[in-house]
Chains A and B, each alone.
Chain A
């Protein structure tokens, strides 16, 4: 065991960690947009929209992420779209995370007591105002802790994008392992970075859960 290997490649790993965080952050943000749309479809009054939303969730949660990633990667190649690998990587993470986030948002919406919407209707709020002022603020509040949890899961899943050549933590750890012939040190070093990021996120999640009180403690 030569811990110096980790120290020597510290700068390299830090840079890679930044890439990992950036890719995951992009994935979670785009995923949130997709998730919100799918969630809206799933709670819609139109049956075909609900079915469509349900099918999306079933497919993107049922197909392994690596398969989705390679599918998108080859799909772009098949149609001659000259999109950088990073777009395929972020796209795959966002599409898959969107399915999970849709379920988180739907759960949060369901957790807002029924009476709230009914009370708002009784008070004469318009449909849009009920959403904007009553349902969404409460649902978003409830969904913060599970969304942070989803971010942790996504951050770990982002290691798979190393397969399409993105220089994130896992890829860089591989490179260090093959350059130094010290795989244990390289992967332990990379793993420590993941662990540090995730512990911070978990702390943030615990904080959010406490701050948001009982409503967020689900």
Chain B
């Protein structure tokens, strides 16, 4: 493919990248919120509700993301849920990742030493205060590495959205490849681009992780 032809596709590639970023961040944010809500609700241990939430997690972790997308996008209209491809993609990413985030937050809560909770109660903190000042900060920080990891996995899942015609980067590349008969080169460039992106996000994630868990290293050194 000559360069002139490539320049012709630059705007659509850029807009595709924009859509990828929007889907990733919106889907990730939705997943984090939903997952956090699920983890909190599961802590209440209300029998039918916690069974339902457990089933939700098992279903969304036990089936392929692509299948969930198809169900949402193609099956949605027959249960009165008409979504654009992009909206279905974001909702799909959110639902799918919320199941994983819920488990991550659960593990985070489990990582808070019982002694700290007991100490908070014994110095007279109300349950709400103990939650806000003791349990939550420790649980969230314990969850950071796993959250970063899941967000990286999610950035790769955004590619799957191209299958339900969300106009994200992969979709634009495939369109370009089909129109210019340069599938091989285009997909190769795409692979390199994603690799760099994922590497960059991983590096950033590691730095963020090191920053928020820095106090743990101090503690270890002190101990």
Decide whether A and B assemble into one complex: yes
Enumerate chain A interface residues (CB-CB to B < 8 A): 58-59, 62-68, 70-71, 74-75, 77-78, 156-160, 162-163, 169-170, 173-174, 177, 182-184, 186-188, 190-191, 194-195, 198-199, 202
> What residue of chain B has the Cβ atom nearest to residue A70's Cβ?
B187
Residues B75 and A187 in contact, CB atoms below 8 Å apart: yes
B102 lies within 8 A of chain A by Cβ: no
Query: By the criterion CB–CB under 8 Å, are A67 and B187 in contact?
Result: yes
A183, B70: Cα distance in complex, Å: 8
Tell me the bound Cα distance from A77 to B182 in angstroms.
11
Most buried by A among B159, B160, B187, B194: B187
Residues in chain A near residue B160, CB distance under 8 A: 64, 66, 160
Interface pair A64/B194, CB less than 8 Å apart: yes
Q: Which of A64, A74, A188 has the most CB of B within 10 A?
A: A64
Check B159–A66 contact: CB distance below 8 A: yes
User: Whole-angstrom distance between the alpha carbons of A59 and B195 in the complex?
Assistant: 6
Residue from A59, A67, A195 in contact with B190 in the complex, judged by beta carbons closer than 8 Å: A67
Contacts of B7 in A (CB 8 A): none
Are A177's CB and B187's CB within 8 A?
A: no
Which residues of the other chain, A, contact B195 by a CB distance below 8 angstroms? 58-59, 62-63
Task: Assess whether A66 is in contact with B162, with CB atoms less than 8 Å apart.
Answer: yes
Q: B67 near A63 (CB under 8 angstroms)? A: no
Q: Are A184 and B187 in contact (CB under 8 A)?
A: no
Interface size class of B (residues with CB under 8 A): 20 to 34
Q: Kindly list 9 other residue pairs between chains A and B, CB separation below 8 angstroms, not including A74-B184, A183-B71.
A: A62-B198, A64-B159, A67-B170, A71-B188, A160-B66, A191-B63, A195-B62, A198-B63, A202-B62
25 A-B residue pairs with Cβ-Cβ distance under 8 Å, sorted by A, are: A59-B195, A62-B194, A62-B195, A63-B194, A63-B195, A63-B198, A64-B159, A64-B160, A66-B162, A66-B170, A67-B159, A67-B170, A67-B190, A71-B190, A78-B184, A157-B64, A160-B160, A163-B163, A177-B75, A182-B78, A183-B74, A183-B78, A188-B71, A191-B71, A195-B63
The answer to whether B58 touches A71, judged by C-beta atoms less than 8 angstroms apart, is no
Q: What is the CB-to-nearest-CB distance from B68 to chain A, in angstroms, rounded to a whole number?
A: 8
Closest to A68 in B: B191
How distant is the Cα of A183 from the Cα of B63 in the complex, in angstroms?
Answer: 16
Question: Which B residues are in CB contact (< 8 Å) with A174?
Answer: 70
Determine the chain A residues whose CB is within 8 A of the CB of B199 once the complex forms: 58, 62
Residue B17, interface by CB 8 Å: no
Contact B67 A190 (CB under 8 A): yes
- Which residues of B are found within 8 Å of A78, using beta-carbon distances? 183-184
